[in-house]
Structure 1
Amino acid sequence: MSSTSSTPSWSVHRLPRAERRIFLVTGGNAGIGYFTAEQLCTTGATVVLGSRDPAKAEAAAASIRSRVAGAQVRVVRLDLADLSTLTTTVDSLRVDRLDAVVHNAGVALDVPPRRETADGHELMFGTNHLGHFALTAGLMPLLSAAPAARVVTVGSFAAKSERLDLDDLQSRRTYRPKQSYGRSKLAQMYFGLELDRRLRALGSSVQSLVVHPGGALDSLTPSRAPVHVRTAGARLRGAPAALLVQGKHAGAWPAVRAVLDPAARGGELWGPRLFGLRGAPRQEAVWGHLADAAVAARLWDISCGLTGVSPAVLPHDLAR
């Protein structure tokens, strides 16, 4: 579909300036999260990399500084698989407002056995969805303090073919790693859209958008040593796939646009232009099953019960 919020002047290679703005990228030490952070740093914004491995995050920050002159980038420890640590993470940001958070971090398991978080939740659902759900609650006062903050949730094209089993969100009855991963990303995407509905109902200035990177492969991703090193062999083997998919640097484009484009709006879904798999970012129609507000509301209530928090219902918002 053509986007009513697209602007002909938008270019992934000429991003708008964003000095004095502060962005948090979860999982900013590798993959799409790294390139999201690197690209946001070119705008003059301060970018915080949230990572459960501070050493890897510091290496990523050093890589960004080596490529972006004057980059304002720093690191905070973030473990989405341990909900008890998230208050400390929010406090360690040491900021009085947050202009955007990109919910990018995630766990993807390929083989059994089923694993759990520190809180006893299935690892992918607990990290990818519940961790970000709870983190958003902690960040909401900082987001509400910014003039027009955004929550950008990075889903997955794999979620398009999945459906949630609300009676088995933890994959206790049936555990297939790839299916559980796709469903965890689908849960994230439901959350991002439901969050925006609830923020609108509160009259909040915070907006929530959902994006997906399409098909993003390491073999098509440019090297960023020591974060990612692409060998000549990997480059040659991945070349045929470039007809359909792209590298993780391009997979970051929808998230970057959702953060920066003033024409983007809460409740929208953004992804790659060509078949949803590669190309410049565009707004696309919200997938049919993802538009089911009843499922989203039930997932929200279940998530509140599992985490003990509710991201949108805050006295600060109610007073706006």
Structure 2
Amino acid sequence: MSSASSTPPWNVQRLPRSDGRVFLVTGGNAGIGHFVAEQLSATGATVVLGSRNPAKAEVATASIRARVAGARVRAVQLDLADLSALETAVESLEESLEVERLDAVVHNAGVALDDPPRRETEDGHELMFGTNHLGHFALTQWLMPLLSAAPAARVVTMGSFAAKSERLDLDDLQSRKDYQPKRTYGRSKLAQMYFGVELDRRLRAAGSTVTSVVVHPGGALDSLTPSRPPVHVRTTGARLSAAPAALLVQGKHAGAWPAVRAVLDPAVGGGQLWGPRVFGLRGEPRHEPMWNHLADTSVAARLWEASCDLTGVDPGAIPG
């Protein structure tokens, strides 16, 4: 009997208690990350919002506390577009917030640009690739001691359904030769997903207690997302106009479900991919087959080496 079949059915409305555990959610101040943080807070865990903007983090923290009685939610300033600031952010997590271990980190924060021109991070990397992938890649290095201090920590990487139709150009990871914003975004999320899968391979090889899981939210629209004022306000007009889309996609509250399950469910295994049940676009979370291109270990290994060169760190080199 598999571990999945020997455990109670998963219920997104009845999450298991996590009192005493500590979770970090990057980009927890808005969008899907806010709902990940809200849902994890309801389990009794301490949830830390990683946010570039302290004012937005304060608003999001107040919103979660207003909805979740006794929520243990806090915030740390975290700018994934500035690699030099990540070590300081983790030091702040340890010292100011007195965090001694992390039971999970959800790599959720991201930048999505719709139009040119091409933009770069503080370190000279294309903004979406540099923030979405390289920032989380480097952050994992600095978080690994805290993750290793927990009994069985998880790194949960939030990919995107948009990455399913993309392929990496390993000779142009920074989109210098041909910049198309939507494609560059999809490739940055694909790079994140390759990282999550490859990280688990390397952690297993190192004998680490930390595991890595990849998730994606399916199709998650603001117009189908319940209001969380002032973080997110859905108008009546938006709700009515989006009603037909609910047959195919969902709101960001539901887009959070695969990540929440990957953090909490003991039946979730390292190296797995989780997404929505219905066509990968909507519904409750399920373990889905690994996408064919994500299973290409040679691409994952080459991306890993390139990421090490670009960031100067190697997250898989520290055994836990």
Same fold (TM over 0.5): yes
Contact 1:5 1:283 in 2 (8 A): no
1:249 aligned to which of 249, 253, 260? 253
Map 1:192-211 onto structure 2 (within 5 A): 192-211=196-215
Query: SS of the residue aligned with 2:172?
Result: coil
Match of 2:41 in 1: 41
Deviation of 1:244 (Å): 0.2
Aligned mates of 2:48, 2:311 — CA distance in 1 = 24
Aligned mates of 2:113, 2:312 — CA distance in 1 = 26
Q: What is the aligned length?
A: 314
Deviation of 1:8 (Å): 4.7
Match of 2:76 in 1: 76
Aligned mates of 2:287, 2:78 — CA distance in 1 = 30
Q: Name stretches of at least 5 consecutive residues in structure 1 with no aligned partner.
A: none
Match of 1:14 in 2: 14
1:97 aligned to which of 84, 98, 101? 101
Query: SS of the residue aligned with 1:312?
Result: helix
Aligned mates of 1:78, 1:18 — CA distance in 2 = 24
Q: Does 1:65 align with 2:65?
A: yes
1:240 aligned to which of 244, 255, 280? 244
Match of 1:148 in 2: 152
Query: SS of the residue aligned with 1:199?
Result: helix
Contact 1:48 1:76 in 2 (8 A): yes
Match of 1:272 in 2: 276
1:121 aligned to which of 113, 119, 125? 125
TM-score, scaled to structure 2: 0.97
Aligned mates of 2:302, 2:188 — CA distance in 1 = 15
Deviation of 1:268 (Å): 0.2
Deviations 1:53-105 (A, max 9, x none): 11001100000000000000001000000000001110111211110000000
4+ runs deviating over 6 angstroms = none
Deviates more, 1:85-94 or 1:182-191: 85-94
Contact 1:25 1:104 in 2 (8 A): yes
Residue identity over aligned pairs, in percent, reads 79
RMSD across aligned positions (CA): 1.0
Q: Name stretches of at least 5 consecutive residues in structure 2 with no aligned partner.
A: none
Query: SS of the residue aligned with 1:66?
Result: helix
1:288 aligned to which of 267, 287, 292? 292
Map 1:154-193 onto structure 2 (within 5 A): 154-193=158-197
Aligned mates of 1:272, 1:8 — CA distance in 2 = 19
Deviation of 1:124 (Å): 0.1
Contact 1:80 1:127 in 2 (8 A): yes
TM-score, scaled to structure 1: 0.97
Query: SS of the residue aligned with 2:317?
Result: coil
Q: Which amino acid in the other structure matches residue 247 of structure 1?
A: G
